[in-house]
Amino acid sequence: MRRRTLPGSDLDVSIVCLGTMTWGEQNDEKDAHAQLDLALARGVNFIDTAEMYPVPPTPATQGRTEEILGAWIRRHGRDGLVIASKVAGPGRRDWIRGGRTNLTREAIAEAVDLSLRRLGIDAIDLYQIHWPQRNLGTIAGKPFDPADEHGGPPIREQVEAMAAQIAAGKVRHWGLSNETSWGVCEFRRIARELGVPPPITLQNSASLVSRGADGDLAEVLYREAMSLLAYSPLAGGMLTGKYAGGARPPGARYTVFANVGGRYRTPLVEAAAANYAALARERGRTPVELALGWLASRRYLGAIVVGATRLDQLDEDIAAAQVELDAGTLERIAALQARYPNPAG
């Protein structure tokens, strides 16, 4: 298992990070613990969760994923594990924490304490802001509109809140998720101005069909000495080939949940995925090896966040992330990107 030290930290992590958002919905506790056992046996030491999980989120299941992970930790301990979680913000389900979802100092402190209690640990290694609170149009594919400006805690307060949790020993490092280049730079600027620990990671979607990290974000990550935690590396399964030709396999995520992953379920993404699958076969690779091998080659990558509902899928993903693609294959991928620059956004 390839490992990397996340810049700005002492966190030595596996290139594969085990994603957990299906635990408590598509996977029960037994399934989840089996995934943990397999992942650790394959050399994975990095686990990513969130107070909002599982997804799709509901009032009845919120927090269950952390509880499931906590139950495993109580049996096996957390030695050697790097545990990441996230705080949800407003607009992401107001029933979380009784509706106290503005990213204030108090709300972030409360969220940390609740996550620690569910996980049964003393400190979270990497704590992330799940979604930006400010007006932001690009994440959902909607153009930015200044008319949508709204109030809320400023970025300065969020930086101070994270610094307070680090000072209290409850969080070791912190990061951002679903952020823009401006947002990353502003969080880092304010942290420098205050003389407090800055965010060290950015968890955004990244895949062969979601290329937002390849442009200005790549420059930001390089100049700010940060790394990307890439989620949805297989576009929710579109890049595995299982949905080819409009197929909807029984039990698959896009079969079970009609309203999940809309940006990946478009004709343009399907066309791009079909062409990448054909290229993989031509180069003697599986579609999963092509997709994850390409991500593993990105200079900005910290880890690939992989999630699965079945053990065989997880095993395949972990192995595929170790693949090193040859220069010729990478050149062919670049040629295909010229035809499908960023179909999923």
278-310 tens-digit pLDDT: 999 999 999 999 999 999 999 999 999 999 999
Residue 36 tokens, joined: 């943990």
For helices 287-296 and 327-339, give the axis angle rounded to 10 degrees: 100
Contact predicate 36/65, CB 8 Å: no
In this prediction, residue 49 carries a pLDDT of: 98
Query: DSSP letter at 341?
Result: S
**How confident is the prediction for the chain on average, in pLDDT?**
94
Confidence at 139, pLDDT banded by 50, 70, 90: low
Has residue 226 been placed in a domain? no
Which residues have a Cβ under 8 Å from the Cβ of 75 and sit 6 or more positions away? Answer: none
Mean pLDDT of all residues in 114-121: 98
Reference 230, options 258, 205, 193; nearest CA is 205
Burial of 59 (0-12, 13-18, 19+ CB in 10 A): exposed
Confidence at 246, pLDDT banded by 50, 70, 90: confident
Has residue 262 been placed in a domain? no
The Cα 103–Cα 199 span in angstroms is 15
Q: Within a 13 Å sphere around the CA of 60, how many CA atoms are in the beta-carbon half?
A: 3
What's the pLDDT tens digit per position in 30-60? Answer: 999 999 999 999 999 999 999 999 999 999 9
In this prediction, residue 183 carries a pLDDT of: 96
The Cα 176–Cα 17 span in angstroms is 16
| Weakest-pLDDT range from 171-175, 265-269, 278-282 | 265-269
Residue 140 pLDDT > 90: no
Confidence at 135, pLDDT banded by 50, 70, 90: confident
Residue 312 pLDDT > 60: yes
In this prediction, residue 138 carries a pLDDT of: 58
Reference 134, options 111, 158, 114, 106; nearest CA is 158
Residue 235 pLDDT > 80: yes
Has residue 280 been placed in a domain? no
Residue 261 tokens, joined: 């992953």
Reference 23, options 235, 312, 308; nearest CA is 308
Note down the domain range covering 71. 3-205
Assign residue 178 the CATH number of its domain. 3.20.20.100
Has residue 331 been placed in a domain? no
**Residues labelled as active-site residues:** 53
% pLDDT > 70, the chain: 98
In this prediction, residue 249 carries a pLDDT of: 77
In this prediction, residue 92 carries a pLDDT of: 62
Has residue 98 been placed in a domain? yes
What's the pLDDT tens digit per position in 4-17? Answer: 999 999 999 999 99
Q: Return left, alpha or beta for 93; rule: phi > 0 is left, psi -120 to 50 is alpha, else beta.
A: left
Residue 134 tokens, joined: 């400010």
Pairing of strands 171-177, 3-5: unpaired
The Cα 51–Cα 101 span in angstroms is 12
Residue 229 pLDDT > 80: yes
Confidence at 141, pLDDT banded by 50, 70, 90: low
CA end-to-end span of the chain: 30
The Cα 272–Cα 341 span in angstroms is 9
Pairing of strands 227-231, 301-306: parallel
Has residue 289 been placed in a domain? no
In this prediction, residue 39 carries a pLDDT of: 98
User: Is-above-0.75 flag for pTM?
Assistant: yes
Residue 261 pLDDT > 90: no
**Domains of the chain: total:** 1
Which residues have a Cβ under 8 Å from the Cβ of 151 and sit 6 or more positions away? Answer: none
| Weakest-pLDDT range from 56-65, 260-269, 283-292, 315-324 | 260-269
Burial of 282 (0-12, 13-18, 19+ CB in 10 A): exposed
Has residue 187 been placed in a domain? yes
Has residue 191 been placed in a domain? yes
